[in-house]
Each structure stands twice: as C-alpha cells, then as structure tokens.
C-alpha cells in the first residue's frame, strides 16, 4: 500500500458504525452477496478480476490492494492481473476517445469553419 494508506485505516469504519450502522450493514451484506464464494454464475476469480479492472479504472488504491490480493487468492496469476490492467487501460482510453467527440459536438466544431 502507498504511504498514505495503511491497514489501520479500517479503524475509521467506527464512524460509519456510529452514525450509519444500517447503511453499513446493508452495504456489507450486498458486498458479501456479490463476492460470495459460491452460488454465482461468474466464478469468484473472474468477479475479482472484474473488480480489479474497475478499481484500476476508478483508481481506488484501497480497492486495487484488496481486489488484486483477493483475485490471487481466488486463483488468478500475474498474467491475468496484467490482462485485467490492460482491459482497464483500454476502457479508459476508449472512454476518452468516445467522449472526446463531445468536444466537437458541444462546440459545434463542424459549423465553425
């Protein structure tokens, strides 16, 4: 983990427990259902690789740490982690390309010549 993240950061969950315990419980149950070891159509390893790719896309250091380790624990190897990273990179690049077209549309680029 980076210098500003530490394993002790989880201690701050107490704020959620104190002020919004119902939401924390619902979130925990939801996350537990999504990442259940059994009972899902998509195998856990692939769900963790999906989560890793999303974490890389959103650039959440906590999620990158957690889901890369959980993917490995679920059987993913370095090559799979690498491909998940490239999938995330392709989607980010594709999003910039696709949304870049909005710059032309929103500035009425064709009609300014």
Q: Per-residue pLDDT tens, the chain, 113 aa: give them.
A: 456 677 788 889 999 999 999 999 999 999 999 999 999 999 999 999 999 999 999 999 999 999 999 999 999 999 999 999 999 999 999 999 999 999 888 997 566 65
5 lies in a domain?
Answer: no
22 lies in a domain?
Answer: no
Instruction: Tell me the residue range of the domain where 106 lies.
Output: 35-112
64 lies in a domain?
Answer: yes
How confident is the model at residue 113, as a pLDDT? 55
Of residues 81, 7, 74, the one with CA closest to residue 42: 74
pTM over 0.85: no
CATH number at residue 55: 1.20.1290.10
Between CA 12 and CA 84 the distance in angstroms is 30
How confident is the model at residue 2, as a pLDDT? 55
Instruction: State how many domains the chain has.
Output: 1
4 lies in a domain?
Answer: no
């Amino acid at each position: 983990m980076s210098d500003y993240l530490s394993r002790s950061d989880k201690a701050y969950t107490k704020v959620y427990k104190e002020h919004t315990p119902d939401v924390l419980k619902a979130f925990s149950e939801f996350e537990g259902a999504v990442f259940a070891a059994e009972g899902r159509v998509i195998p856990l390893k692939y769900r963790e690789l999906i989560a890793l790719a999303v974490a890389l896309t959103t650039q959440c250091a906590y999620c990158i740490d957690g889901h890369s380790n959980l993917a490995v624990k679920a059987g993913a190897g370095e090559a799979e982690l690498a491909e998940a990273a490239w999938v995330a990179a392709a989607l980010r690049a594709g999003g910039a390309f696709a949304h870049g077209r909005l710059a032309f549309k929103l500035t009425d680029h064709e009609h300014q010549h």
